[in-house]
Amino acid sequence: AGFATLAAGSVLRTRVTSAKLSATCTPYIKSSAKRCLLISNSKLVGLDYLAHVIDHICAFLGPPSAAEYILFVPFAQRDRDAYVAKFRKAISPTGFQVKSLHECADAAARRTAVEHASAVFVGGGN
């Protein structure tokens, strides 16, 4: 099993078995502490983009309020609009809105987007 240290000494344990990811997530806690959910791949063979981790993302983030959003940082694709559209479709089961960093007009808008995001999801390759 792999281990990643999270805020307040919590531990996220993950293991891959039979092309299915299983994990023990920490309970949803709203606090000023930063927490990190690390996902090493966005796709497993035979499954749609993020399908193997969407339940874990939902459990990690908890239910959104109307104003909460995930800030997406698109790195691995040249067509950032298509990449964020793919992410929006995949993340829709969480109930969160999605803003993309590349859609922010200037540095001040990017800074505000980061400061107010419920979560930041960085999409990228190797």
Q: What pLDDT does 98 receive?
A: 96
Checking if the pLDDT of 12 tops 50, the result is no
What tokens does 115 get? 């400061």
Contacts 24+ apart (CB under 8 A), 101-104: 101/71, 101/72, 101/73, 101/74, 102/74
Coil, helix or strand at residue 92: helix
pLDDT digits (tens, 9 = 90+) for 47-101: 999 999 999 999 999 988 888 999 999 987 788 999 999 999 999 999 999 999 9
Q: What average pLDDT is seen over the chain?
A: 79
Q: What CATH number is given to the structural domain containing 44?
A: 3.40.50.880
Q: What pLDDT does 49 receive?
A: 93
pTM recorded for the entire structure? 0.69
* Contact of 51 with 20, CB cutoff 8 Å: no
Residues ≥6 apart with Cβ < 8 Å to 47:
19
Domain with 101 in it: 2-28+35-123
Number of domains in the chain: 1
Of the candidates 31, 20, 3, 21, the one whose C-alpha atom is nearest the C-alpha of residue 12 is 3
Please give the average per-residue pLDDT across 27-50, as a whole number.
80
* 29 vs 103, higher pLDDT: 103
* 92 vs 7, higher pLDDT: 92
Q: What pLDDT does 2 receive?
A: 40
